[in-house]
Amino acid sequence: MKSSNDERAVENGCWFDEEAAQRVREFFLRFLKHSKGQWAGKPFELLEWQWTDVVAPLFGWKRADGTRRFRRGYIEVPKKNGKSTLFAGLSLYLLTCDGEPGAEIYSAASDRDQASIVFNEAANMVDYSPHLASRLKVVRSTKRIVDHRSRSIYRALSAEVPTKEGLNAHAVLMDELHAQKSRELWDTLRYAGASRRHGV
pTM: 0.86
Give the amino acid at 65. D
pLDDT (tens digit per residue) in 25-73: 999 999 999 988 888 889 999 999 999 999 999 999 999 999 999 988 8
pLDDT (tens digit per residue) in 102-136: 999 988 877 778 778 899 999 999 999 999 999 99
For the chain, the first-to-last Cα distance in angstroms comes to 27
- Give the domains, in start order, of the chain with CATH numbers: 4-189 (3.40.50)
